[in-house]
Amino acid sequence: MASGNRGRLDELQEEKSRLLAQRNQLLADLQDVDNRISQVSTEYGRIHNEALVLINKIPDEILHTILKALKSSLTAKYRAEVTFSAVCSRWRRATLSFRDIWSNFRTALSSPSTHQLFIACLERSGTNPLDLCFDFRAYGYEDLGDGFLLLQDALKNIHRWRSFTLISGVQTPVEYLAKRLKTAEAPLLERLTIMSQPSYVFNPLAEPVSNRQSGAPTAFIGGAPRLEYVCLSNLSVTTCLAPLSSITDLRLDLPEKLEGDWIPFDVFLSVLRLPHLTTLSLIGQPFPLLEGGVPNGLTIDMPSLKHLRHATRERSDFSKFILPNIRAPKLATLTLKDFRNPTVVTHWVPSNVVPFPALKTLTLIDYNKYHSPFSLKLAELTSNISTLVVSDREKHFGPKGRVQGNTQDSFTVGWKDIKNLALNTYQLRETLCDFIQTRPKLRVLLIANIWTPKWLNNHDWLEGGRKLKVWEWIGRTEADKSLGPWPPGSPNDYLVDDPFHFKYCMG
């Protein structure tokens, strides 16, 4: 064999030996990896099983509490009970047994799957009272689809309704409900909310005008003896008006063109005088304009009223004939939005104006007549307040509102005893600084987040060693609970729009 070939064979033999050794090492490493995989799998299974054991050890009552808390905090698009029932077989059995969880159905979707889920909820909730909420604002006239099937199945169980909410961007669902609620009976119903977006071309359902204007119920004529809370807007105000004799909380949002289409003044007065009415929120005017006025000596006794809100639309007799004649010994908060000074002040004479004795908080939103002589009458009616909230982001109140020669107004001589002032404005800064300096009992000043930089550049209110706490206003109810969910003290329902809420912070 040639010496050259011999050398090549030696090289190949050496390389082969090296590769065999490398393969053996790789096989050994692979065995180590396999062993490690086995160890990891074993540990993973142990930890996983231990976690399942811990999950399975959670008592049903704790699981129920967690699930109930989650449901109250999530929006209508998420259903915690569906997620819980998919965790494990035990959670599924427990979740399906919580009838009260399935009896609370909230949705913002109109789809076949939502409809099937609703049917399942009706079955799984047994005979429990139902809390139903349908938010159809994302749908128009043509695409509501299965939403009508949802309402249809809800109506089949009307005898179980405890609370019912319908919010729609169009009038069609309200019309659908109105036809079917007229003679209905709801023995368990406590809360009713039916709201649609404003429609200034008001076209109520065909029915005798005398029925609408008599103030007689147009819904639940069969009875709703437990009904306490009613919230209606636009079309539903006339077509879904439930019996009001037992209510404690009433909210009506009326469009501008509805004044002559609801109830006469005397019937409206009977609503105001309901003995158990505790909260009242009005947008617009629910009675026809009173061309001839009302007689002197009118008193509107509201013995249980604690919280009152009113927002003026195009025209209103509220400031002329309602507010000065209210006698509400328990009224604690008064909120006025777009309040317009009355053109007739007959009922605002000193002998008739009786300050609300228990009034603690006055909130004025976009009131443009702080400098008018009438503002003194308003300040007198609300003279017992300890908290004043002023919100105006549209430059509504300024020097131009002051009547020439008039040096006295609500800010110069009114509200002498306030202790808390919340400002959501930077207009009329000099007047407000004078107001702050001349109110010796004032102890807390809340400044809205959006105006904080401007106000903090001016420290006039701190002169003279005032013990005044200046806080940044970052939580709506820091000023007063009446600025939070309505009625005050209620859980926050993010679905229902509230025109009385104003932006007070950045973001």
What pLDDT sits at residue 371?
A: 76
Cα–Cα distances in Å, from 498 out to 197, 486, 492?
A: 12, 8, 11
Are the C-beta atoms of residues 409 and 375 closer than 8 Å to each other?
yes
d(CA 9, CA 410): 112
CB count within 10 Å of CB 221 equals 15
Q: What DSSP assignment string belongs to 347-409?
A: GGSTTT----TT--EEEEES---TTSTHHHHHHHHTTT-SEEEEE-SS---SGGGSPTT----
Q: What DSSP assignment string belongs to 293-327?
A: ---TT--EE-TT--EEEEE--S--SIIIIIGGGEE
Phi and psi at residue 367, to the nearest 5°: -90, 125
Are the C-beta atoms of residues 340 and 319 closer than 8 Å to each other?
yes
Contacts of residue 4, Cβ cutoff 8 Å, sequence gap at least 6:
none
Give the angle 379-385-388 at the CA atoms, nearest 5°: 80
Are the C-beta atoms of residues 139 and 147 closer than 8 Å to each other?
yes
Are the C-beta atoms of residues 337 and 312 closer than 8 Å to each other?
yes
**pLDDT tens over the chain, length 507 residues:** 666 678 788 888 888 888 998 998 998 888 988 889 989 988 888 887 666 666 677 777 777 777 777 776 655 556 777 777 777 777 788 777 778 888 989 888 888 989 999 999 999 999 999 999 999 988 877 777 788 999 999 999 999 999 999 998 888 899 999 999 999 999 999 999 999 875 433 344 444 444 455 667 889 999 999 999 999 987 788 788 899 999 999 998 876 555 455 677 888 899 999 999 999 999 888 777 777 778 788 899 999 999 999 998 776 788 989 999 999 999 999 999 989 888 888 889 888 889 999 999 999 998 877 778 888 899 999 999 999 999 886 654 555 444 444 567 777 788 999 999 998 887 777 778 888 888 889 998 888 877 777 776 765 555 555 677 888 887 777 788 888 888 888 876 666 778 888 776 554
Cβ burial, residue 178 (10 Å; 0-12/13-18/19+): buried
d(CA 482, CA 476): 9
Which residue do the tokens 């569906």 mark?
82
d(CA 105, CA 101): 8
What are the start-end ranges of the H helices in 74-195? 80-84, 89-97, 99-102, 112-124, 147-156, 172-181
Beta strands in 453-505 (DSSP E): 469-473
Of 159, 225, 227, the closest CA to residue 194 belongs to 227
Phi and psi at residue 165, to the nearest 5°: -130, 130
Q: Could you tell me the two tokens for 324?
A: 């000065």
CB count within 10 Å of CB 280 equals 24
Cis amide bond preceding 487, omega within 30: yes
